[in-house]
Structure 1
């Protein structure tokens, strides 16, 4: 498995994977991504700014997507909690999705390993990685903690009114 930055030619594929992710969450009764987030404008901005990535299988099939945003991430301005490290040298992982055609094959776990390794190897200036997920998304919460993140707080109403998300952080140094 490998990751690469998405290009504008990948835009439709990224949108498709995120829509599929939205459907997977709905099928599981998880209210995450059921509103206007993420939307095609987020994807366009992510790709144009070099923040969107594709996840490829060993046979080069596109299986997923995610975004790495640089600091400051204003989604965390109203964090109810405390960071492990008070720093501006962080990156945030957002909009993680593995297409349902490839679910259950370990790609999500491999994605986390690849992203963490990528950040540690390519960005030695980064002191922490941050991520959040919906309070009902138990599978993502498990994945996040399995890969070394610590829950540091809660967000209320950032993505949609009355929505609660759990926030995690991993120190890279």
Structure 2
């Protein structure tokens, strides 16, 4: 799995991947990404800040999208819990999606493993990796745990009112 930094030329493709991801969540009864998040403005900001990446498979197919956001991330200002690392030197994985045309091939695992490996090898300035997901997104919770993250707390109403997200951290 290769990570390719996205440019504005990739904007429509990222939107399509994330929209497909929202549809997949809805099909599984998960009420995540069913509103205006992630927004087009958020994706534009991700690209402009160098946070947006495309996941490219071994056969050179673009299979997914991900945002790797440098901290501090104010989404976590009201964490109900305790971090493993008391630091501002972290990155947050947001907006992870594998297009449904490519599901069932292990690409989500390969994508997160590529991100974790890249950060461990190339980001000496980073102490930990953080990620969160909707309380009903069991597939993502399973993947996060499989990748070695520790559940550290909850977010309440950050993305949408009355929505709870589980928050995880992986010390580098």
TM-score of the aligned structures, taking structure 2 as reference length: 0.99
Q: Does 1:49 align with 2:76?
A: no
Q: Structure 2: how far apart are the matches of 1:127 and 1:24? A: 33
Could you tell me which residue of structure 1 aligns to residue 27 of structure 2? Answer: 27
CA distances 1:79-108 after superposition (whole Å, capped 9, x unpaired): 000000100110000000000000010000
1:92 is aligned to 2:99: no
Match of 1:171 in 2: 171
Structure 2: how far apart are the matches of 1:84 and 1:139? 23
Please give the alpha-carbon distance, in whole angstroms, between the structure 1 residues aligned to 2:103 and 2:39: 22
Partner of 2:123: 123
The alignment of Structure 1 onto Structure 2 pairs a total of residues equal to 172
Matching residue of 1:75: 75
State the Cα RMSD in Å: 0.5
Structure 1 residue aligned with 2:3: 3
How far the C-alpha of 1:153 sits from its partner, in A, is: 0.0
CA distance in 2, matches of 1:112, 1:57: 13
Give how far 1:117 is off: 0.5
SS of equivalent residue, structure 2 residue 118 = helix
Provide the C-alpha distance between the structure 2 equivalents of 1:28 and 1:121, rounded to a whole number of angstroms: 35
Equivalence for 2:113: 113
Q: What 5-or-longer segments of structure 1 have no aligned partner?
A: none
Distance 1:53 1:72 in 2: 19
Provide, for residues 44-78 of structure 1, a one-character-per-residue CA deviation record: whole Å limited to 9, x for no partner: 11011100000011111100000011111000000
Equivalent residue, structure 1, for 2:16: 16
User: Which 5+ residue runs of structure 2 have no aligned equivalent?
Assistant: none
Correspondence 1:142 to 2:122: no
